[in-house]
């Protein structure tokens, strides 16, 4: 009964591991069926090649760009295209003037648009809004009906900003089929006629906007998350949270006081006045135009609406990274070949295979059949890591570079270390004369602390390396940390449960000489058969004494300092260790 009770928990853990494998495979398989993922991991620029864009910086006015501005631009562009540091993008300066952006593979439309988005982010009040389609020529306002300002504007929402030319441009603007022609950057002190492109949820809208009142550089942070209700409960809606600096907080308070008056008045009349809206403009294009439902006094507005998690994240990223100090024009764009290529990848994989084979040979030589557990554990760890890398490539755009491959190769040795620590703890227990079942449990208690401490150090090193480095080094650190987590999962959910099951088999339980747990070879005292039964030697007494003497000497050699001192106090060490000859050997049981 006791054996059955011990065996079932181990098998349940193994079943859970199989379930995890099945779940990861199902997730990746679903992505492959949907056409969004691939069974093969994504490769980085050095292994696959990709797209290179040369950006020419442009400063407002006639001032020259300086090195600090260029370095800040590089840092922000890097955050835009590779905020997590695992997409293996390369962003650098060229001749102290241009910025070179190299991306693996073919960048998506969203990524290309994010790179092209320049520094010109600002907040403008809405003066008028209309349907995104251009007004037919026959229906446009006659010259006599065009607006004619009667006084100088008193604030950025004043209708006197709308001149006849501005209104003509508003009517002629087609946001449904926008022109691809490049336009000059707008004057922040003048009104702007522009579009808000159509999305899956909303049609295209065109606006007449007042002058800039708050600049994008005044944003200190931008996050997204579920919206909380009046009682603090979390709703199913998503919102974007903005934080302004001190100077913008005062300006934004005055702006929302004015816009909220328009909102309250329109609600009293049963309508929606567009003047209650405050447009967020990036590169002269509206990315959102929320209404001011309240006066914001603390500089922490929240944008809500028909957001999904993806659209809220996209807007948050645009706000966070949209305030570049300079703007850019894409000077050239071309496809580039892999900087290292398939030959280097094959050599890297060959190095990994050689390292794996050496670990296998050592495990089989040192641990015999027990080494098969090491090999199986490495296979399981490799499978988990492969699935994780493929899924992260799909969901987080993680790309495997040659540095990442090096991280995987290093992880082979680190993973094998965990098994060696565990196996040696078990063998130490056997040398003390314990049965295999208890040796596995006691050895696990001792090894678990060592394994956890070792992996904690590995994870800490990977985290530090990840946060202080850039480029390929971050990819190496990410892979190293990922494999450390996989190693922990395998040791706890595969290696230990497998040994719990094997300890109750005849081959391992009776200490077969090819099992790697032969008590005679380990110097166990006394020799045992199975759980708690002593084994009667079949060799001649002289052979047994010689073997036992050698085994005892081996056991003494492996003692720790504390164990040796305890044995000396108890008078159990042989004469060779204490300086005097004793009878030595081990007791033979019946």
Q: Which DSSP string corresponds to 229-286?
A: -TTS-EEEEEEEEEEE-HHHHHHHHHHHHHHHHHHHHHHHTTS--GGGBEEEEETTEE
**What pLDDT, on a 0 to 100 scale, did the predictor assign at position 410?**
84
88 pLDDT more than 80:
no
Reported as a single tens digit per residue, the pLDDT across 355-403 is: 888 888 988 888 888 889 989 999 999 999 999 999 988 887 788 888 8
Contact predicate 239/308, CB 8 Å: no
What is the DSSP code (8-state) at residue 515? T
Rounded to 5 degrees, φ, ψ at 13 are -65, -40
Token pair belonging to 506: 């005849």
Residue 7, CA distances (Å) to 10, 18, 423, 425 in order = 5, 17, 19, 21
Is 73 a residue whose pLDDT tops 80? Answer: no
pLDDT exceeds cutoff 50 at 200: yes
pLDDT surpasses 90 at 205? yes
Q: Which of 96, 74, 111 is nearest to 470 (CA)?
A: 74
Highest mean pLDDT among 60-64, 399-403, 522-526 belongs to 399-403
What was the pLDDT predicted at 471? 64
pLDDT band at 4 (very low <50, low <70, confident <90, very high): very low
Q: What is the DSSP string of 22-62?
A: HHHHHHHHHHHHTTS--SSPPB-HHHH-EEEEEEEEE-STT
Higher model confidence: residue 386 or residue 35?
386
Mean pLDDT value of segment 159-180? 88
Residue 515's pLDDT is 84
- With cut-offs at 50, 70 and 90, classify the pLDDT of residue 543: very low
Whether 189 shows a pLDDT value over 70: the answer reads yes
Residues making up the chain, counted from first to last: 590
Whether residue 197 is predicted with pLDDT greater than 80 in this model: the reply is: yes
Residues 566-580, mean pLDDT to the nearest whole number: 53
210 with 124: CB under 8 angstroms?
yes
Pick the more confident residue, 352 or 590: 352
Average pLDDT for residues 412-429, to the nearest whole number? Answer: 86
Q: Lowest mean pLDDT: which of 60-69, 204-213, 401-410? A: 60-69
Residue-level pLDDT at 85: 56
pLDDT at 526 over 60: no
Q: Find which of 130-144, 182-196, 322-336, 544-558 is predicted with most confidence, using mean pLDDT.
A: 130-144
Q: Check whether 159 has a pLDDT greater than 70.
A: yes
- Which has more confidence, 17 or 74? 17
What Rg value do the Cα atoms of the chain yield, rounded?
35
Please state the pTM of the whole predicted model: 0.58
CB-CB contact of 46 with 338 (8 Å): yes
pLDDT band at 151 (very low <50, low <70, confident <90, very high): very high
Q: Mean pLDDT in the chain? A: 80
Contact (Cβ atoms closer than 8 angstroms) between residue 389 and residue 397: no
The pLDDT confidence band at residue 582, using thresholds 50, 70 and 90, is: very low
Percent helix, percent strand, percent coil in the chain, to nearest 5: 50, 15, 30
> Which of the residue ranges 91-95, 210-214, 542-546 would you say has the lowest mean pLDDT?
542-546
- Tell me what pLDDT residue 540 has: 44
Q: According to the model, what pLDDT value does residue 578 have?
A: 46
pLDDT, one tens digit per residue, over 314-345 is: 888 778 766 655 667 778 878 777 765 667 77
At 37, the pLDDT band (50, 70, 90 cuts) reads confident
What pLDDT score does 106 carry?
Answer: 74
pLDDT greater than 80 at residue 531? no
Share of the chain above pLDDT 90, in %: 29
The residue with greater pLDDT, 224 or 107, is 224
CA distances from 12 to 318, 491, 495, 498, 500 (A): 47, 15, 13, 11, 12
- Given a cut of 60, is residue 525 above it in pLDDT? no
Please list the alpha-helical segments (H only) found in 83-180: 109-116, 164-172
More confident residue, 13 or 94: 13
What integer pLDDT is reported at residue 555 of this predicted model? 56
Please, which residues have CB within 8 angstroms of residue 76's CB and are 6 or more apart in sequence? Answer: 321, 323, 324
Provide the pLDDT for residue 563. Answer: 61
- Range among 58-62, 81-85, 374-378, 466-470 with highest mean pLDDT value: 374-378
Q: Which of 128-132, 276-280, 395-399 has the lowest mean pLDDT?
A: 395-399
| Window from 59-73, 257-271, 367-381, 452-466 with minimum mean pLDDT | 59-73
pLDDT band at 61 (very low <50, low <70, confident <90, very high): low
Please tell me the predicted confidence (pLDDT) of residue 326: 66
| Mean pLDDT value across residues 8-21 | 91
Note the pLDDT of residue 519.
74
Percent of the chain having pLDDT more than 70?
Answer: 77
| Confidence category of residue 492, pLDDT binned at 50, 70, 90 | very high
| Pairwise CA distance, residues 432 & 448, whole Å | 19
* Residue that wins the pLDDT comparison between 413 and 19: 19
């Amino acid at each position: 009964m006791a054996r059955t009770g011990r065996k079932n928990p181990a098998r349940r853990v193994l079943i859970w591991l199989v379930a995890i494998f099945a779940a990861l495979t199902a997730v990746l398989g679903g992505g492959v069926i949907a056409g969004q993922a691939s069974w093969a991991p994504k490769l980085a620029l050095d292994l696959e090649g990709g797209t290179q864009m040369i950006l020419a910086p442009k400063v407002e006015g006639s001032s020259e760009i300086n090195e600090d501005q260029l370095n800040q631009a590089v840092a922000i562009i890097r955050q835009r295209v590779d905020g997590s540091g695992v997409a293996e993008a390369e962003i650098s300066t060229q001749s102290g003037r241009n910025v070179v952006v190299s991306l693996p593979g073919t960048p998506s439309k969203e990524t290309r648009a994010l790179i092209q988005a320049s520094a010109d982010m600002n907040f403008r009040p809405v003066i008028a809004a209309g349907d995104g389609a251009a007004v037919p020529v026959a229906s446009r306002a006659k010259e006599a009906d065009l607006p004619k300002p009667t006084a100088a504007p008193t604030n950025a929402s004043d209708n006197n900003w709308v001149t006849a030319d501005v209104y003509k441009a508003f009517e002629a603007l087609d946001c449904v089929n926008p022109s691809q022609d490049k336009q000059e950057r707008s004057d922040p002190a003048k009104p702007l006629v522009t579009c808000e492109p159509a999305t899956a949820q909303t049609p295209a809208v065109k606006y007449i906007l007042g002058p800039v009142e708050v600049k994008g550089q005044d944003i200190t942070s931008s996050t997204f998350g579920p919206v909380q209700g009046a009682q603090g409960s979390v709703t199913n809606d998503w919102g974007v949270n903005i934080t302004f600096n001190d100077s913008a907080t005062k300006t934004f308070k005055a702006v929302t006081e004015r816009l909220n008056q328009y909102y309250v008045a329109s609600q009293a009349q049963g309508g929606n006045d567009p003047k209650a809206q405050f447009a967020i403009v990036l590169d002269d294009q509206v990315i959102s135009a929320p209404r001011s439902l309240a006066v914001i006094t603390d500089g922490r507005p929240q944008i809500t609406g028909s957001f999904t998690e993806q659209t809220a994240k996209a807007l948050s990223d645009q706000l966070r990274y949209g305030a570049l100090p300079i703007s850019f024009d894409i000077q050239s764009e071309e496809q580039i070949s892999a900087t290292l290529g398939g030959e280097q990848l094959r050599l890297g994989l060959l190095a990994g295979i050689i390292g794996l084979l050496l670990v296998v040979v050592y495990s089989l030589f040192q641990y015999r059949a027990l080494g098969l557990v090491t090999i199986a554990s490495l296979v399981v760890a490799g499978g988990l890591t492969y699935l994780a890398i493929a899924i992260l490539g799909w969901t987080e755009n993680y790309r495997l570079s040659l540095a990442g491959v090096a991280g995987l190769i290093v992880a082979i040795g680190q993973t094998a270390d965990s098994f060696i620590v565990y196996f040696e703890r078990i063998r130490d227990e056997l040398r003390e004369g314990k049965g295999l079942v208890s040796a596995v449990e006691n050895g696990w208690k001792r090894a678990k602390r060592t394994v956890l401490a070792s992996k904690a150090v590995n994870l800490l090193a990977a985290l530090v390396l990840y946060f202080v480095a850039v480029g390929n080094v971050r990819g190496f650190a990410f892979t190293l940390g990922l494999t450390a987590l996989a190693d922990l999962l395998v040791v706890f959910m595969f290696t230990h449960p497998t040994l719990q099951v094997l300890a109750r088999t005849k081959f391992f339980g009776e200490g077969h000489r090819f099992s790697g747990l032969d008590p005679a070879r380990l110097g166990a005292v006394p020799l045992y058969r199975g759980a708690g039964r002593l084994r009667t030697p079949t060799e001649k007494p002289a052979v047994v004494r010689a073997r036992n003497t050698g085994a005892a000497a081996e056991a003494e050699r492996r003692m720790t300092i504390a164990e040796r001192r305890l044995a000396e106090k108890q008078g159990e060490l042989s004469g060779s260790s204490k300086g005097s000859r004793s009878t030595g050997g081990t007791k033979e049981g019946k």
